[in-house]
Amino acid sequence: MSVTTTQVAKEVKARSASVAKPKAGLNLIENTIGQPKANEVRLKVEACGVCHSDSFALEGTFPNAHYPLVPGHEIVGIVDSVGTDVKRIKPGDRVGVGWFGGNCGHCLGCRQGDFICCSELEIPGITRNGGYSEYAVFAESACAIVPKGLKTTEAAPLMCAGVTTFNALRHSGAKPGDVVAVLGIGGLGHLGVQFANKMGFHTVAIARGEDKKALALKLGAAVYIDSEKQDIAAELNKLGGARVVLATATSTKAMTACVGGLGIEGKLLIVGAGMDPLNVLPVQLISKRNSISGWPSGTARDSEECLEFCELTGIRPMIETFTFDKFQEAYDRMMSGKARFRAVITFG
């Protein structure tokens, strides 16, 4: 595509996969994507990862979702137009947009500089149209520059699954050599194992079944725990207890089983968005000063640092690609749990 440097763009027609209302399913529409506002950029989308959180839009389970709605928050595209106040991004840049779509600037979280915790957080695919579309418009502040060493289809899942696990681990308090376990070897977990290994942690992978072992070890785990045959807590305690258990699976039952395996001042760090309550006894936390915490993705700069770390260390997501006309198949594949490990929609 030929990209000009003009800051004033005409409207473009785009095919999009849209949700008219909760539980209405995905439908192909053609909509008009207008000129970006002063602080916005417009992307010609090249790839969009399919995340389990996209189901929030389809099922109507996330507050403040705006319908009709185009899902998708693992987006990589080429900037084709910029607003008059845009300074950092220019036409022709390849950028990514994730869960962070912009912040209000005036709430307590923003005033503290913690923009991902903005009380009015803009979320692509939830509060504004996302990446299941040939074109999309986002705030400049939401855009991360994609390094040249990453393929577009590889970069897309890093905008959510990648930055979430990367950011959680690097802020977890764990130090090189500490035992860090990753619960679940799926879309987030297969990246979490790679990050934990490259960050210098004694990496433990926890998953169901012996069939996951070979892959977990290949990804960088030093130890594999089969939760179907082994007692998770007992196995972690044999290693001295986990400094961190990164819970990427959504099963709160599996998370609960890990708590007894935390070491002194160990932390259950949750990034898998489960909807069932945890069943943890207070004494389990008190005796070793253990804690349970969560981590909500990251800003555009966090995403850039994640992308740069992946380029440097060779970390890559395992993906299955689907052309845009097969968006329903991509979504169904993700929801079935059979994708290995991230479905990515591509736009020709």
**Segment 133-152, tens digit of pLDDT:** 999 999 999 999 999 999 99
Enumerate the CATH 3.90.180.10 domain ranges in the chain, comma separated. 12-160+298-346
Closest CA to 68 of 55, 80, 58: 58
**Rounded to 5 degrees, what are φ and ψ at 304?**
-60, -45
Residue type at position 94: R
Would you tell me how many other CB atoms lie within 10 Å of the CB of residue 286?
9
Would you tell me how many other CB atoms lie within 10 Å of the CB of residue 316?
18
**Rounded to 5 degrees, what are φ and ψ at 241?**
90, 150
- Encoded tokens for 190: 């297969």
Q: Is 172-294 in CATH node 3.30.530.20?
A: no
Q: Residue 4: pLDDT band by 50, 70, 90 thresholds?
A: very low
- Look at residue 15 and give its three-state secondary structure: strand
Mean pLDDT of 157-185: 98
Query: What pLDDT is attached to residue 234?
Result: 98
Place of tokens 């299955």: 320
pLDDT at 5 over 90: no
Residue type at position 307: L
pLDDT at 1 over 70: no
Closest CA to 328 of 28, 36, 3: 28
* β-bridge mates for residue 262, sequence order: 242
| pLDDT per position as a tens digit, 48-100 | 999 999 999 999 999 889 999 999 999 999 999 999 999 999 999 999 999 99
* Average pLDDT value for the chain: 96
Identify the H or E element spanning 135.
strand 135-139
Mean pLDDT of 5-30: 87
CA 178 to each of CA 29, 65, 125, 201: distance values in angstroms, whole numbers, following the listed order:
50, 40, 37, 5
CA 157 to each of CA 12, 224, 238, 291: distance values in angstroms, whole numbers, following the listed order:
26, 24, 34, 29
Q: What share of the chain in percent tops pLDDT 90? A: 95
CB of 108 closer than 8 Å to CB of 119: yes
Mean pLDDT of 116-121: 97
Mean pLDDT of 37-50: 98
Mean pLDDT of 195-201: 98
Residue type at position 189: G
Enumerate the CATH 3.40.50.720 domain ranges in the chain, comma separated. 172-294
| pLDDT per position as a tens digit, 286-344 | 999 999 999 999 999 999 999 999 999 999 999 999 999 999 999 999 999 999 999 99
CB of 277 closer than 8 Å to CB of 116: no
Place of tokens 């109507």: 60
The β-bridge relationship of strands 40-50 and 26-33 is unpaired
In whole angstroms, give the CA distance from residue 8 to residue 125. 25
Q: Residue 253: pLDDT band by 50, 70, 90 thresholds?
A: very high
Query: What pLDDT is attached to residue 9?
Result: 55
State the CATH architecture for 12-160+298-346: Alpha-Beta Complex (3.90)
DSSP 133: B
Closest CA to 51 of 133, 141, 158: 158
Residue type at position 36: P
